[in-house]
């Protein structure tokens, strides 16, 4: 919160505008071709998961159906024409819906916001309506922000999922106890996701910080992790390069200093109530539920993250 308040104070000064102009200058080449960049990365992402094979929308979501991979290749091909971009968008949503036959809906909510954001971008970018088209990058930004904030709550709901990770790669914790580091990582992920929805300087600096974090994770976690996070990383780059100064959705609150703590507390409350409320609705007050349909799980079975098909850690 201190970061947001200090950056908002800086943003109101001439120094803030100087920083924004500097970022504009550095990112000008990308900004001038930003739609091309985003479309190429989306297309490349679907080619990559086609090459990986046996997955839905990310390497985490496995499928035995080989034809799914060919749908991904068709989506990639459809992205490079504005006439067929809406078909690609429909294909993305269809893949998420198809994943419901193998995965529990609560688990798939981790991937919904980003998928909807990318699909909305493809539809809006192809639109002939200027007003709608101008909102295409905003749709991407909201999609990534919501995805980051939602998935960050797993670090509080299921911290033991991350224990094997910090045991295998202890350098990630910077010497901190795992039960301190994991919630801190969740807080950082949530707040930076929140920052993507705020004023221009805050959202661009949040995007830069997130890009650094994701980039440094590529080497220790490998190429498959890079494929899985490629879309998020690309959108984060697009947010950092976005020259737009317009503040939409409650602009008066976002521009006020008091709006920062109020907005953050409100957002945390909204997401926490939604996350644990839905969790309780699906799995019961004690995290247990009736046996799911055969073959439906909340995740890809993994020896590193052992928990049962109800999404409850063993």
Higher pLDDT, 267 or 214: 267
Asked if residue 36 is part of any domain, the answer here is: yes
Count of the separate structural domains present in the chain: 1
Flag whether pLDDT at 314 surpasses 70.
no
Q: 3-state class of 193 per DSSP?
A: helix
Interatomic CA distance for residues 157 and 250, integer angstroms: 30
Residue 78 has pLDDT above 80, yes or no: yes
| Angle made by CA atoms 115, 246, 263, in degrees to the nearest 5 | 70
Is residue 314 assigned to a domain?
A: no
Residue 193 tokens, joined: 């996701």
Is-contact 219 25, C-beta < 8 A? no
302 in any annotated domain: no
Range of weakest confidence among 97-101, 130-134, 155-159, 163-167: 163-167
CA distance 39 to 85: 10
Taking residues 199-221, what's their average pLDDT? 87
Asked whether residue 169 is domain-assigned, the answer is yes
pLDDT at 290 over 60: no
Which tokens go with 86? 């809406």
3-state helix, strand, coil in the chain (%, to 5): 70, 0, 25
What number is the average pLDDT over the span 179-205? Answer: 91
Q: Would you say residue 311 lies in a domain?
A: no
Given a cut of 80, whether residue 219 has pLDDT beyond it is: no
Residue 293 pLDDT:
39
Q: CA–CA separation, 49 vs 72, rounded Å?
A: 7
Residue 300 maps to a domain: no
* Summary mean pLDDT of the chain: 85
- Is the pLDDT at 291 greater than 70? The verdict is no
Burial of 146 (0-12, 13-18, 19+ CB in 10 A): buried
Q: Measure CA of the first residue to CA of the last residue in the chain; give whole Å.
A: 35
Predicted pLDDT at 288: 53
**Residue 301, class by beta-carbon neighbours within 10 Å (0-12 exposed, 13-18 middle, 19+ buried)?**
exposed
Q: What is the mean pLDDT of residues 139-166?
A: 89
- 258: which 2 tokens? 């008091």
Tens digit of each residue's pLDDT (9 = 90 or more) over 20-36:
999 999 999 999 999 99
Q: Write down the pLDDT at residue 287.
A: 61
Task: Tell me whether residue 30 is in a domain.
Answer: yes
Taking each helix axis as running N to C, give the angle between helix 2-11 and helix 178-195, from 0 to 180 degrees, rounded to the nearest 10.
30
313 backbone dihedrals φ, ψ, rounded to 5°: -65, 145
Q: Report the candidate in 231, 296, 219 with the shortest Cα–Cα distance to residue 58.
A: 231
At 246, is the pLDDT very low, low, confident or very high (cuts 50, 70, 90)? Answer: confident
The boundaries of the domain holding residue 196 are: 2-283
Nearest to 228 by CA among 151, 142, 121, 305: 151
Concatenated DSSP letters of 127-146? -S-HHHHTTHHHHHHHHHHH
6 — pLDDT class (breaks 50, 70, 90): confident
134 compared with 301, residue with greater pLDDT: 134
Shortest CA distance to 142 belongs to which of 125, 119, 176?
A: 119
pLDDT at 305: 39
Q: Is residue 253 part of a domain?
A: yes
Is residue 211 within 8 A of residue 170, CB to CB? The reply is: no
């Amino acid at each position: 919160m201190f970061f947001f308040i200090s950056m908002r104070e800086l943003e109101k000064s001439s120094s803030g505008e100087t920083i924004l102009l500097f970022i504009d200058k550095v990112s000008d080449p990308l900004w001038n071709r930003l739609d091309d960049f985003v479309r190429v990365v989306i297309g490349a992402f679907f080619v990559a998961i086609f090459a990986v094979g046996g997955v839905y929308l990310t390497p985490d979501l496995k499928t035995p159906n080989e034809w799914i991979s060919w749908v991904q290749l068709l989506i990639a091909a459809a992205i490079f024409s504005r006439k067929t971009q809406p078909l690609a968008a429909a294909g993305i949503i269809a893949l998420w819906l198809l994943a419901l036959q193998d995965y529990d809906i609560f688990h798939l909510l981790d991937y919904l916001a980003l998928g909807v954001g990318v699909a909305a971008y493809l539809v809006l970018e192809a639109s002939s309506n200027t007003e709608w088209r101008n909102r295409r990058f905003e749709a991407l930004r909201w999609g990534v922000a919501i995805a980051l904030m939602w998935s960050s709550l797993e670090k509080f709901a299921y911290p033991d999922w991350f224990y094997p990770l910090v045991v295998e790669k202890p350098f990630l914790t910077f010497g901190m106890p795992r039960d301190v580091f994991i919630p801190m990582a969740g807080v950082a992920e949530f707040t930076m996701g929140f920052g993507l929805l705020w004023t221009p300087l805050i959202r661009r600096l949040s995007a830069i910080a997130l890009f650094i974090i994701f980039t440094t994770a590529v080497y220790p976690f490998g190429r498959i992790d890079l494929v899985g996070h490629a879309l998020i990383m690309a959108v984060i780059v697009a947010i950092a390069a976005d020259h737009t100064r317009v503040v939409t959705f409650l602009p008066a609150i976002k521009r006020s200093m008091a709006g920062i703590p109020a907005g953050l507390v409100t957002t945390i409350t909204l997401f926490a109530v939604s996350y644990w409320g839905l969790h309780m609705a699906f799995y019961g007050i004690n995290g247990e539920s009736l046996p799911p349909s055969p073959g439906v799980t909340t995740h890809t079975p993994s020896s590193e993250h052992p928990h049962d098909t109800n999404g409850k850690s063993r």
